[in-house]
């Protein structure tokens, strides 16, 4: 069997994303044939690989792809040390799946879960041009000049945001409905962008990733991605 880079190999069998695996190599959490490897080492199924002291079972898993309409008060993780419900808890599968990207605890909406580590960087990396679209209900009446600031980029404490796609929907009483599409994933980014222009987020829901939409999928429900949706993600 042909050998490939360690991060690519481990990502392909669902251990984590390439970025996560590179970090684990740096932190000496991975051994190959009893030794701490260099980042560029190449491996295959014949190599003995240990992750966090446990010998990896190198059985190629069937690749699975799900979308979940995440409810509020749910963690975008595989497990939570505080015992809170996670996105993985909603999906019945024998495969070891994990979420691609994150939605914060109080945000609803579309999240993709898989055991295919190759997809991770494709979706979350800004260079991928994959926009994530959010439906927002914000406090106050958001003026055009504020929408223009969102489109141009907002200066946050961890840097300037990339230009966003913004669409005003309607005013409803003392609130405003709008959509914002971004192609990066800073922590709580949409909420912080709205705070920066002086409008608190009342409700936030991710409704689209690239061309993939939730449609009429109910909150707390999930489904497998279609073959066309998987092919789209793989060809980003």
For the annotated catalytic residues, the residue numbers are 104
CB atoms inside a 10 Å sphere around CB 162: 14
Query: Could you tell me where the DSSP H helices lie in 27-143?
Result: 118-124
- The answer to whether the CB of 136 falls within 8 A of the CB of 178 is yes
202-227 in b/e form (b: 16+ CB < 10 A) is eebbbbbbbebebeeeeeeebeebee
Tally of helices (H runs) and strands (E runs) in the chain: 6, 16
CA dihedral over 9, 14, 18, 20, signed as positive or negative: negative
Beta bridge partners of 155: 160
Strand boundaries in the chain, DSSP class E: 4-5, 30-32, 42-43, 49-51, 54-55, 65-70, 98-100, 108-114, 132-139, 155-156, 159-160, 165-172, 175-182, 201-209, 212-213, 222-224
Asked if 174 contacts 139 with a C-beta cutoff of 8 angstroms, the reply is yes
8-state DSSP, 151: H
């Amino acid at each position: 069997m042909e050998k490939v880079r360690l991060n690519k190999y481990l990502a392909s069998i669902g251990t984590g994303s390439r970025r996560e695996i590179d970090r684990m190599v740096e932190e000496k959490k991975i051994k190959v044939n009893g030794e701490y490897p260099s980042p560029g080492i190449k491996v295959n199924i014949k190599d003995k690989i240990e992750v966090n002291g446990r010998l990896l079972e190198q059985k190629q898993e069937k690749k699975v792809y799900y979308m979940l309409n995440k409810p509020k008060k749910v963690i975008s993780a595989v497990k939570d040390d505080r015992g809170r419900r996670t996105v993985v808890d909603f999906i019945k599968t024998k495969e070891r799946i994990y979420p691609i990207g994150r939605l914060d605890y109080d945000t609803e909406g579309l999240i993709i879960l898989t055991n295919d580590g190759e997809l991770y960087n494709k979706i979350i990396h800004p260079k991928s041009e994959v926009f994530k679209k959010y439906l927002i209900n914000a406090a106050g009446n958001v003026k055009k000049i504020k929408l223009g600031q969102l489109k141009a980029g907002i200066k946050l404490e961890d840097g300037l945001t990339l230009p966003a796609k913004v669409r005003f929907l309607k005013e409803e009483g003392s609130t405003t409905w709008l959509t914002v599409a971004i192609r990066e994933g800073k922590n709580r980014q949409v909420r912080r962008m709205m705070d920066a222009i002086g409008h608190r987020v009342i409700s936030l829901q991710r409704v689209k990733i690239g061309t993939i939409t939730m449609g009429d999928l109910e909150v707390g429900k999930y489904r497998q991605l279609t073959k066309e949706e998987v092919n789209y993600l793989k060809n980003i």
